[in-house]
Chain A
Amino acid sequence: MSLINLNNEQKMIRDEFRKFATSELEPIAEEIEENGVFPEDIIGKLSELGLSSLIIPEKYGGVELDVTSLCIAVEEISKICASIGTILVVNNCMVAYPLMKYANESFKEKYLNRLSNGEIGGFICEPEIDLPEEKNDLKAEGDNFNFSGHREFLLNGESADFFIMPVSTSDVNKFYIIENDIKGIHLSSKNLLGMRAAGFAGAEFKDLKLTKEACFIPDDKGGKIQSEIRDYANIGFSAISLGIAQTALETAIKYSKERVQFGHRICEFPMVQEMMSEIKMKIETARLLVYDVASKVDKGEDFGIASKITRIYCGDLGVFAGLNSIQVHGGYGYMKDYPLERYFRDAKVLQLLETSPRISKSQIAKELLK
Chain B
Amino acid sequence: MDIIVCIKRVPQTAEADVTIDSSGKDIEKDRLSFDMNESDSYALEEAVLIKEKFGGTITVISLGHQDTEDTLRIALAKGADNAIRIKAEDFDELDGYKTAQILKSAISDLNYDLIFTGCIATDDAYSQVGVTLAELLDIPHASLVINIDTSEKRAHVHRELEGGLTEHLDISLPALCTIQTGINEPRYASLIAIRRAAKKEIKVIGKEEIEKENLLLNTQIEELFIPPKTKEIEFLTGSPAESASKLAKIFKEKGLI
**In the bound complex, CA of A49 to CA of B192 (Å):** 8
Expressed in whole angstroms, the Cα–Cα distance for A65 and B77 within the complex equals 15
Q: How far is the CA of A49 from the CA of B77 in the complex (A)?
A: 12
In the complex, identify which listed stretch (B104-112, B183-191, B246-254) lies at the interface while the others stay far away.
B183-191
Interface residue ranges of B117-142 to A (CB < 8 Å) = none
- Once A15-B70, A16-B74 are accepted as A-B contacts, the answer to whether A8 and B192 lie under 8 Å apart by CB is no
User: How many A-B contacts at CB < 8 Å in the complex?
Assistant: 50
Q: Which residues of chain A (3-24) have a CB below 8 Å from chain B?
A: 7-9, 11-13, 15-16, 19-20
A48-93 contacts to B (CB < 8 Å): 48-51, 54, 58, 63-65, 69, 73
Q: B17, B188, B195, B197: which contacts A20 (Cβ < 8 A)?
A: B188
Total count of chain B residues near the partner, CB < 8 A: 16
B21 at the interface (CB under 8 A from A): no
Collect the chain A residues with CB atoms within 8 Å of residue B70's CB: 8, 11-12, 15
Residues of the B chain whose Cβ atoms lie less than 8 Å from the Cβ of A8:
69-70, 73, 198
Known A-B contacts A9-B198, A12-B70, A12-B74; the reply to A19 vs B191 at CB < 8 A is no
Q: CB of A259 within 8 A of chain B?
A: no
A336 near B: Cβ within 8 Å?
A: no
In the assembled complex, A257 has its CB within 8 A of some CB on chain B: yes
Q: Which of B70, B74, B188, B190 has the most CB of A within 10 A?
A: B188
Q: Evaluate whether A13 and B188 lie within 8 angstroms (CB atoms) in the complex, with A8-B70, A257-B17 already known.
A: no
Q: How far is the CA of A49 from the CA of B190 in the complex (A)?
A: 4
Closest to A63 in B: B191
Docked pose: A58 CA to B188 CA in angstroms: 20
- With an 8 Å Cβ cutoff, the count of chain A residues facing the other chain is 22
Contact in complex: A13, B190 (CB < 8 Å): no
Considering the chains assembled together, what is the distance between the CA atoms of A103 and B195 in angstroms? 26
B1 at the interface (CB under 8 A from A): no
Q: With the chains together, A9 CA to B77 CA distance in Å?
A: 10
B35-A65 in contact (CB<8A): no
| Chain A residues within 8 Å of B77, by CB | 12, 16
**Is the pair B188, A65 in contact by a Cβ cutoff of 8 Å?**
no
Interface pair B192/A63, CB less than 8 Å apart: yes
Question: B194 touching A12 by the CB < 8 A rule?
Answer: yes
Residues of A within 8 A of B188 (CB): 16, 19-20, 49
Which residues from B are CB-within-8-Å of A64?
Answer: 195
Measured CA separation A69–B191 after assembly (Å): 10
> What chain B residues lie within 8 Å of A257 (beta carbons)?
17
Task: Known contacts A12-B77, A13-B191, A257-B17; decide if A19 and B35 are in contact (CB<8 Å).
Answer: yes
Complex interface: chain B residues within 8 A of A11 (CB): 70
Which B residues are in CB contact (< 8 Å) with A16?
A: 74, 77, 188-189, 194
**Which of the residues B17, B192, B197, B198 comes within 8 Å of A50, measured between beta carbons?**
B192
| From A12, A19, A58, residue with most partner B Cβ within 10 Å | A12
A-B contact pairs, 5 of them (CB 8 A): A12-B189, A13-B191, A15-B35, A15-B74, A63-B192
Taking Cβ atoms with an 8 Å cutoff, the residues of B that contact A are 17, 35, 69-70, 73-74, 77, 188-192, 194-195, 197-198
Question: Besides the contacts A15-B70, A51-B191, what 19 more A-B pairs have beta carbons closer than 8 Å?
Answer: A8-B198, A9-B198, A11-B70, A12-B70, A12-B73, A12-B77, A12-B189, A12-B197, A13-B191, A16-B74, A16-B189, A16-B194, A20-B188, A49-B188, A49-B189, A50-B191, A63-B192, A63-B195, A65-B195
